């Protein structure tokens, strides 16, 4: 359970200004925001989320990318519905509402000294990227880092600069990328993420696996990891459901007695096994 929040109005957003927008894929954009007078309304821990609103349209919960220097808030947002369509249409200078940070975030401290395996699909890399960036910032605190990432196509791969140039150049780091179907200009791996994980077969000894992606991918990745000998407390995932309040009161994001917005979104598999299979 979270500590008591100091914010007096947890349901009322603070306005920030969009200072940069970057196309990541044909349907994913990164938004960089800060207060008009500079700075961020709140600091975030890796894996935490925030409610972002195009105020006159609606609000949605998005993973907030962890920044080494918390000078701006960053969200990578995929276009999937009413609000995200609107967000994809805005320009630099637009004012957005933000409130948060919400949720527990990744157990970055408990994972210290471990080898890390990150498995992501599609926009699911967005939350894991916070943890990955955190590990690289505190590189000496973590062992080997393995990143396995897949998307439908080359164009749909997010954060290509980091994926192909920055991350593979970092010490003791391996990055594996796959796409669902063959493409002419692609000479990398082709196939779905779960099968690729089994093919690479990272040794579970001393490893923590963190996964996020489409629900169907998560489901099969969890099965693969189990098959490969990973125990339930070695596997972490971050979930999402429809949310309105973000503070465990409006009801809808429960899985059993836990609220994803407040008690999650990060759970290990041992915790999830105690809950109804509704995720």
Phi, psi of 118, rounded to the nearest 5 degrees: -110, 125
- CA distances, 160 to each of 77, 175, 252 (Å): 15, 12, 35
Measured from the CB of residue 260, what is the shortest distance to another protein in angstroms?
Answer: 10
Considering only 161, 181, 187, 277, the residue that binds another protein (CB under 8 A) is 277
- CA distances, 235 to each of 11, 35, 70, 269 (Å): 32, 37, 28, 6
> Using CB under 8 A as the criterion, what x/- string covers residues 103-132 for binding another protein?
------------------------------
End-to-end CA distance of the chain: give it in Å, rounded: 20
Write out the binding residues for another protein, residues 36-95 only, by CB under 8 A: 55-60, 80-84, 90-91, 93-95
* Number of helical (H) and strand (E) elements in the chain, helices listed first: 6, 15
Residue closer to another protein (CB basis): 58 or 107: 58
Q: Does position 265 bind another protein by CB under 8 A?
A: no
Rounded Cα gap, residues 161 and 125, in angstroms: 14
Which range binds another protein by CB under 8 A, 131-139, 148-156, 185-193, 256-264?
Answer: 256-264
Measured from the CB of residue 137, what is the shortest distance to another protein in angstroms?
Answer: 28
Reference 142, options 176, 177, 172; nearest CA is 172
Measured from the CB of residue 149, what is the shortest distance to another protein in angstroms?
Answer: 19
Tabulate helix, strand, coil % of the chain (nearest 5): 25, 30, 45
Measured from the CB of residue 216, what is the shortest distance to another protein in angstroms?
Answer: 10
Measured from the CB of residue 162, what is the shortest distance to another protein in angstroms?
Answer: 24
Measured from the CB of residue 86, what is the shortest distance to another protein in angstroms?
Answer: 12
Reference 128, options 140, 139, 119; nearest CA is 119
Write out the binding residues for another protein, residues 214-253 only, by CB under 8 A: 215, 240-242, 244-245, 247-253
Handedness of CA 72, 78, 80, 86 (dihedral sign): positive
Residues making contact with another protein (CB under 8 A): 1-5, 7-13, 15, 55-60, 80-84, 90-91, 93-97, 215, 240-242, 244-245, 247-254, 256-257, 262, 276-279
């Amino acid at each position: 359970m979270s500590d008591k929040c100091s914010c007096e109005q947890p349901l009322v957003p603070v306005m920030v200004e969009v200072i940069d927008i970057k196309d990541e894929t044909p349907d994913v954009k990164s938004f960089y925001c800060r207060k008009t007078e500079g700075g961020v309304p709140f600091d975030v821990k890796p894996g935490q989320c925030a409610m972002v609103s195009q105020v006159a349209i609606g609000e949605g919960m998005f993973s907030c990318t962890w920044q080494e220097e918390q000078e701006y808030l960053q969200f990578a947002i995929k276009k999937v519905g009413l609000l995200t369509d609107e967000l994809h249409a805005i320009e630099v200078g637009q004012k957005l509402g933000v409130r948060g940070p919400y949720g527990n975030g990744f157990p970055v401290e408990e994972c210290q000294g471990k080898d890390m395996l990150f498995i992501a699909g599609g926009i699911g890399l967005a939350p894991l990227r916070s943890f990955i960036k955190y590990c690289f910032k505190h590189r000496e605190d973590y062992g080997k880092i393995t990143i396995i990432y897949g998307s439908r196509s080359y164009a749909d791969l997010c954060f290509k600069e980091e994926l192909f140039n920055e991350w593979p150049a970092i010490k003791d780091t391996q990055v594996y990328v796959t796409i669902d179907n063959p493409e002419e200009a692609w000479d990398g791996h082709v196939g779905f993420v779960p099968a690729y994980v089994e093919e690479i077969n990272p040794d579970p000894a001393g490893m923590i696996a963190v996964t996020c992606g489409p629900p169907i991918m998560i489901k099969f990745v969890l099965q693969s990891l189990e098959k490969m000998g990973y125990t339930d407390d070695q596997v972490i995932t971050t979930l999402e459901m429809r949310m309105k309040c973000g503070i465990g009161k409006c009801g809808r994001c429960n899985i059993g007695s836990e609220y994803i917005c407040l008690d999650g979104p990060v759970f290990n598999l041992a915790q999830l096994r105690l809950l109804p299979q509704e995720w």
